[in-house]
Amino acid sequence: MALNPKILEEELLRQSEASANGVEITYGDFVSAMEKYALMIQYPPPVGVVPAAKILKSLLDAIPTNPPLPIAIPVIKAAVQLFALGIMTGAPIGKGIAFPTIPPPGQPMIDSILSQPNEREVVAKQLASAIHTYMITGTYDAFGIPPGSNPPVPGYSPWT
């Protein structure tokens, strides 16, 4: 088990294709894609994923998506950031019991991806990659000792 951007990419592409076929896709659906991706997280354990997704879905489904609003990019960025915070709250202290779990800093850099027209496949791949790059900047005390450190020094592992 580990975070895999391909899972998110495939889910985003599936949603994009559904939208092109007339299915209404909501911000909550975006959170569902994030949930499917994040359930594969190894460090920290995914105990915060489902509760975070549930809360965000209920909040974001209240925001209309038709017609598309100019707030889409900030909403998606905030959703990813809040989702990461939810993961962190599910495992606030790592297994090494030495260091707290730290979510990724700031928000994902997705403005340029969503602000220009492009093919569905390209957008899904770039968006999944940018979100994955953001998510793996979170840190977790998986062992109290980062893997591969020689000599062993207590510290953080990236979210994987």
Chain segment 39-61, per-residue pLDDT in tens: 999 889 899 999 999 999 998 88
Cβ–Cβ < 8 Å for 146, 153:
yes
Q: Domain containing 131: what range?
A: 5-158
- Is pLDDT of 123 > 70? yes
> How far is Cα 12 from Cα 113, in angstroms, rounded to an integer?
13
Higher pLDDT pick, 75 / 34: 34
Neighbour count for residue 117 (Cβ, 10 Å): 5
Provide the number of structural domains found in the chain. 1
Which pLDDT value is given to residue 61? 87
